[in-house]
Structure 1
Amino acid sequence: MRSIRGGEMIGVFQKSMGRRFRALLCGDPSGTPPWLGVVAEGEGPGFYEPNEAPWVVHEDLATLVGGVRALLMQALHPGSLAGVRDHSRYEADPLGRLAGTIQWLTITTFASREGVMKEAARVRGMHGRVKGSYEGADGLQKSYRASDPELLKWVHIAFTDSFLRCHQAYSARPIPGGADAYVRLWARSVVPLGLEDAPLSEAGLVSSLEGFEADLVVNESTREVLRWLENPPLPWVAGRVYRLLFHAAYATLPEGLQDRIGLRTWPKAVLQPVTRAFLKALRMAIGPESPIQDVAIERLERSGWRPNGGV
């Protein structure tokens, strides 16, 4: 009786913590992601299935670190930095901007193809309004649009590299097919956004990043955004947790970029075990419940999908 009662109490605690955790990420006080219906509706698979690399990587809590790292990386390119600074509500509503990014990531990873294409159309519409000018690494003024292929490519490879490296550093789960599979399969996600030459292997990803090095800038505008990213206005508990995630993300940046940025941080030898332990504890606290994955798998099963693969 005691063990049953104890198990029930743990379940209640996990449900409560899971609801609060999801509410923080999605912006809905109920903890139900507003895009849950998009993932549930439709028939058949989307771009990815549960046994494929993007699904496995993006369902893992190491994505919390990867998301912060992606923002760090994107801030180093003056074009993507200008887009965030001039067309984003990140200072006034950091969690709102986070929710928008999570919406795209979640729908693209777990929804049906129809749902993915609708979400891509929404993002393209937003990109059409994001334009302006910035000072490049060469000191010249350049115009930009969020839909420019080179800018799309930078945002994509910064995102891909960040989620891959943080999964490798902070998750114990192997990636099906390894890093190459993740890079190759996740390249599908940006085709509906207009990018058709994304890297298709880990070596290609590294080469693409190296090709952007000359375009990256660390100046006062960059440092202003980086300082904000290090200490955004979050509730007290969330802020303390975020500080750990920020430093864990920063520690995975290439050493050359860390040298250029120059932030003081904790040694990676300390950050890695502490971050892994925190993410493991967080998973235990919020429990195994995952409404998004549950409805995605239900949608797949309606079409005859089985866990051993195939239909």
Structure 2
Amino acid sequence: MAPPVVRGTAAWRYFGDFRDVLLAGQVLVLQVAHPVVAAGVRDHSNYTEDPWTRLMRTGASLSIYVYGGASGAHFEAARLRDLHRTFTGVAEGRRYSGLDPAAYAWVHATLVRVPVDVQRFFGRPLTDGELDEYYAQMCDIGRVLGVRERDLPPDWASFEAYYDEMVASFRPNPTMTTLFSTIRTVPKPVRWLPDRWWPTLRGWQARGQMFLIRATLPSALREQLGLQWTVADERRFRRFCWVVRVVGGLVPVSVRTVHMRWIGKLNVWLREHPWAYRLLS
């Protein structure tokens, strides 16, 4: 049994680090690389029309089941399972469900991996002890979310082997192509942003997002997708990592996750006070 996610523990320190946003594109690509997830996104997600709202809702959900305490985590787990139960369709000629155990476990696995990769790239790699505690905590969260016990590798080394095996099995699919297109054509996030500014800003964000995706995807999948990566790109990425590492190191540990912790607490409070939630809806 892992310790709960409380101040000072590994998941508390690393899961909501503000630098995690740098891998948002990477984790989306990895998730839709799974054929069942790709089919579910294709058939049931509106992210192409309103990606910013989808991103905010995803962040809110993550904050609840990691930083919302036991009651918040169980509430959000039940909500997610009820939602995914409605996602059904056909993938590669076979019926699928949003609660497909292997696909459900893979989505959880990608989220487990993000903070570890973020610290490896942009911070200080987790020690063996931190990895053990962090992974045990995320397995407990996985159980709350409904991931089957047999789909949770027993330790970090086994998890890495499972992760690498899954990545090696993926091939390009149309949902990934749509995701890349959406990154390049995403509408402006807020109405008050002047229309004349957005094409330039969108171009910057698209180039930056695609660069980070190419930089941080596992090399095997990057090659499968035909994403080029040069020696010059590697040098640029290493310089970027250094800058982020230095800037991030100036921020106290307790501040790096404060946004996710407060979002989690706010969402739990809103769930407990439906009248307030309705006013904001």
Is 252-261 or 187-196 further displaced after alignment?
187-196
Gaps of 5+ in 1: 1-45, 136-140, 298-311
Cα 1:231–1:259 shift into 2, 3 Å: farther
2:20 to 60, 63, 81: 63
Q: Establish whether residue 252 from structure 1 lines up as the match of residue 252 from structure 2.
A: no
Q: Establish whether residue 147 from structure 1 lines up as the match of residue 104 from structure 2.
A: no
Asked if the contact 1:57–1:175 (Cα under 8 Å) also holds between the matched residues in 2, the reply is: no
Counterpart Cα distance in 2 of 1:251 and 1:74? 17
Which has the larger share of helix?
Answer: 2
Q: What is the Cα deviation at residue 220 of structure 1? A: 4.0
User: Which amino acid in structure 1 is aligned with residue 24 of structure 2?
Assistant: G
Q: What is the Cα deviation at residue 227 of structure 1? A: 3.3
Q: What is the Cα deviation at residue 54 of structure 1? A: 1.5
Alignment of 1:153-164 (within 5 A): 153-164=105-116
Q: What is the Cα deviation at residue 145 of structure 1? A: 1.1
- Larger Rg over CA atoms: 1
Q: Deviations along 1:146-186, whole A, 9 cap, x unmatched? A: 11211111111222223321221112475683333322221
Q: Which residue of 2 aligns with 1:274?
A: 240
Q: Which residue of 1 aligns with 2:69?
A: 112
Asked if the contact 1:62–1:279 (Cα under 8 Å) also holds between the matched residues in 2, the reply is: no
Cα 1:202–1:173 shift into 2, 3 Å: closer
Counterpart Cα distance in 2 of 1:275 and 1:125? 39
Q: Secondary structure at the match of 1:264?
A: coil
The TM-score normalised by the length of structure 1 is: 0.68
Counterpart Cα distance in 2 of 1:244 and 1:278? 14
Paired positions, count:
246
Gaps of 5+ in 2: 190-197, 266-281
Cα 1:231–1:173 shift into 2, 3 Å: farther
1:166 to 114, 118, 129: 118
Cα 1:220–1:116 shift into 2, 3 Å: closer
Q: Which residue of 1 aligns with 2:225?
A: 261
Alignment of 1:194-213 (within 5 A): 194-197=146-149, 198-213=152-167
Cα 1:280–1:60 shift into 2, 3 Å: farther
User: Which amino acid in structure 2 is aligned with residue 127 of structure 1?
Assistant: H
Asked if the contact 1:120–1:192 (Cα under 8 Å) also holds between the matched residues in 2, the reply is: yes
User: Which amino acid in structure 2 is aligned with residue 223 of structure 1?
Assistant: T
Q: Which residue of 2 aligns with 1:190?
A: 142
Asked if the contact 1:70–1:159 (Cα under 8 Å) also holds between the matched residues in 2, the reply is: yes
Counterpart Cα distance in 1 of 2:188 and 2:79? 28
Q: What is the Cα deviation at residue 253 of structure 1? A: 1.8
Q: Which residue of 1 aligns with 2:9?
A: 52
Asked if the contact 1:76–1:217 (Cα under 8 Å) also holds between the matched residues in 2, the reply is: yes
Asked if the contact 1:147–1:194 (Cα under 8 Å) also holds between the matched residues in 2, the reply is: no
Counterpart Cα distance in 1 of 2:98 and 2:55? 18
User: Which amino acid in structure 2 is aligned with residue 293 of structure 1?
Assistant: R
Asked if the contact 2:123–2:248 (Cα under 8 Å) also holds between the matched residues in 1, the reply is: no
Is 157-166 or 176-185 further displaced after alignment?
176-185
Asked if the contact 2:63–2:264 (Cα under 8 Å) also holds between the matched residues in 1, the reply is: no
Counterpart Cα distance in 2 of 1:296 and 1:130? 25
Counterpart Cα distance in 1 of 2:128 and 2:18? 17
Counterpart Cα distance in 1 of 2:61 and 2:263? 17
Pick 1 or 2: higher relative contact order, CA cutoff 8 A, min separation 6: 2
CA RMSD of aligned residues (A): 3.2
Asked if the contact 2:116–2:125 (Cα under 8 Å) also holds between the matched residues in 1, the reply is: no
User: Which amino acid in structure 2 is aligned with residue 63 of structure 1?
Assistant: D
